[in-house]
Amino acid sequence: MSESKHRNIRSYVLRKGRLTVAQQLALDELWPHYGIERGKTVLEYGEHFARPADVILEIGFGNGESTWQMAQQEPDKNFIGIEVHEPGVGHLLMALEEHAIENVRIACEDAVPFLQHRVACGSLAGVRIYFADPWPKKRHHKRRIIQPEFVSQLAHCMTQGGILHLATDWQPYAEHVLEVMQFSPDFVNLSVTGDYCERPDWRPYTKYEKRGERLGHEVRDLLYQRA
């Protein structure tokens, strides 16, 4: 069988965005402090954070607007943000320095192998995935990040009682998440109506969300607890 048939289907397209001078400078000067280098060994969180605390993983943080605000609002937690696009990484690095935030570390790579190789079993207190690409065309639905195998991997990495929090402004994608998650034996939906929850205080109200609302997009929050 050819190698291509074994290749994981990516939930993103790696675009070559243009780095600003400031973003490139942040990558050059701040990455050694905040960055998590690629590797195959399981992370020792104590090597990256100054003190032990619950670790929250944010997947696909975009420009990091939510990331630094959550870290600032929840200083008792440690955050790891994953993003494949360098301009977004550079933008977050600048924000971390500007606001003197020390409880965030960044990985610039695909979340799937990161979870498989770098995250210890039961070591995450929470996972947050906000406004992932909904891949609206039917032929692209297989690229959506929330799939049964990925959900199982998340469960493997999360501690019992940990919270998986997803948010989307694309209703068909929200329905896709509900459908996938209802068949997972590892998570319990925290919605009293069995579908969506109110936006929890820890999720910042971002410029992206405000723009979506202007376009008539209703944001859905989905919260699940690791059983």
Which residues are marked as active site? 133
Rounded CA gap, 19 and 186, in Å? 40
* Maximal C-alpha separation, the chain: 51
Give the containing element (helix H, strand E) for 108.
none
Phi, psi (5° rounding) for residue 225?
Answer: -105, 135
Please report where in the chains the tokens 């998986």 appear, as a residue: 164
Q: What's the half-sphere exposure (Cβ side, CA atoms, 13 Å) at 215?
A: 10
Is residue 1 within 8 A of residue 67, CB to CB? The reply is no
